[in-house]
Amino acid sequence: MFEDMARNLTDWLSGKGDESTVVISSRVRLARNVAGCVFPGAAGTDTRKKIIEYFESAVSRSDMLSRGTIVRSSDLSPLDRDFLVERHLMSPNFVAGDSSRALYIGEDERVSIMVNEEDHLRIQALAPGRDSDAPYKVAGEFDNEIGSYLEFDYDSDFGFLTACPTNVGTGMRASVLIHLPGLVITKEIDRVITKITKMGVAVRGFYGEGTDVLGNLFQVSNQNTLGVSEEDTMKLVMNVTDSIIKEEVHARELMMDEALEQIEDKIWRAYGILKFARVLTSEEVMNLLSALRLGVAMKIIDFVDIALINEILLLSQPAHLQKYYEEEMSSDRRDAVRAEMVREKLK
């Protein structure tokens, strides 16, 4: 499954959108639960199957929803699942051995809905660049559309009820994926993270909670969902994002002024290695692409575009690489094929 999908760059990695030299993508995720049904973690198989059926029925009855596709987790191989996680269409947690989970993928992959992850529904909308509007609007449209078929668990005091108390209220998590090589290289990143954490946002590595920071990619998202409005949450995350962008741009200017040669060297070496290496791990590619992305943003390298960097980043990941080449590969084989793919793309 998904071999064709692997051949296309997903919209949120198109390199378009505002502030694309710093912000990769913006995302809004809404947690929703069906009223009268036990949350997935505590629910039996019957309840969970019922939730999928409710959702499928809503999809089939809605013109808007029926434009997307539903896949049952039981139809997904481990490789398929890894592929969808790499594509940010589902969370790493969304791994199941039974049929009681499902994933909805909307047109252009701008929306995905996980059924029976931590909550009954997790509606997620993605857009490239810094986007305070589209993901929020799109997620809201899907929320409304589904809400016209299903009744959500909603408390007039608290707001939306969710499996984890940290999501109660708006059930909304707004986040941006942001590239901060300047702050990492100038060693300002810890100061900035400390500062913005105090403003009510969380900062994580590329793949969400608890993961290492690879490729200087950080995910910034709101901490609170209770007693705040959706609009204020969006405003907070975007304000913090703008403040981080400012700090990052400043750090890059500082490097230009004070260590241009060293930065140019780092960037060109990364390019040279990507262009000629015969063995590349996905971690190394992420770190080399980080330097290349910085080089493009700083106009040191003018013949590579952000979309190509994003494409290589996506295809470098293990499941994408295997789907792209339609071959199951050992880790060693992947490292060689990955290097081949990178060379091909940079030709």
In this structure, the chain runs to a length of 347
| Kind and range of the H or E run holding 57 | helix 45-61
Query: CB-wise, 53 or 283, nearer to a copy of itself?
Result: 283
Contact between 276 and a copy of itself by CB under 8 A: the answer reads: yes
CB of 266 to a copy of itself, least distance (A): 8
Out of 133, 195, 269, 344, the residue judged to bind a copy of itself by CB under 8 A = 269
Contact between 275 and a copy of itself by CB under 8 A: the answer reads: yes
CB of 333 to a copy of itself, least distance (A): 10
CB of 310 to a copy of itself, least distance (A): 22
For residue 163 the two structure tokens come to 């499996």
Going by the DSSP 8-state scheme, the letter that residue 115 receives in this structure is: E
Q: Is residue 181 within 8 Å of 65, Cβ to Cβ? A: no
CB of 275 to a copy of itself, least distance (A): 6
Q: Is residue 295 within 8 Å of 259, Cβ to Cβ? A: no
CB of 283 to a copy of itself, least distance (A): 15
Query: CB-wise, 39 or 271, nearer to a copy of itself?
Result: 271
Q: Is residue 196 within 8 Å of 241, Cβ to Cβ? A: no
Q: Which stretch binds a copy of itself (CB under 8 A): 22-30, 66-74, 79-87, 264-272?
A: 264-272
> 63: how many CB neighbours lie within 10 A of its CB?
7
Q: Which residues, numbered 242-261, are part of the site for a copy of itself (CB under 8 A)?
A: 261
CB of 330 to a copy of itself, least distance (A): 13
**Apex 302 CA angle, 299 and 303, nearest 5:** 160
Q: Which residues, numbered 317-336, are part of the site for a copy of itself (CB under 8 A)?
A: 336
Size of the site for a copy of itself (CB under 8 A): 17
Out of 239, 264, 329, 345, the residue judged to bind a copy of itself by CB under 8 A = 264
Cα separation, 149 vs 146, whole angstroms: 5
Query: CB-wise, 46 or 257, nearer to a copy of itself?
Result: 257
> 273: how many CB neighbours lie within 10 A of its CB?
17
**Strands across the sheet with 102-105, in order?**
69-72, 102-105, 111-115, 121-128, 23-32, 172-179, 217-222, 201-205
CB of 291 to a copy of itself, least distance (A): 11
- The single residue listed with the structure tokens 């969380």 is 202
Q: Which stretch binds a copy of itself (CB under 8 A): 42-50, 71-79, 238-246, 268-276?
A: 268-276
Cβ neighbours of residue 326 under 8 Å, at least 6 residues apart? 3
Query: CB-wise, 105 or 321, nearer to a copy of itself?
Result: 321
Contact between 278 and a copy of itself by CB under 8 A: the answer reads: yes
CB of 313 to a copy of itself, least distance (A): 19
User: What Rg value do the Cα atoms of the chain yield, rounded?
Assistant: 21
Q: Is residue 45 within 8 Å of 100, Cβ to Cβ? A: yes
Query: CB-wise, 46 or 261, nearer to a copy of itself?
Result: 261
Query: Which residues make up the interface to a copy of itself (CB under 8 A)?
Result: 261-262, 264-265, 268-269, 271-279, 336, 339
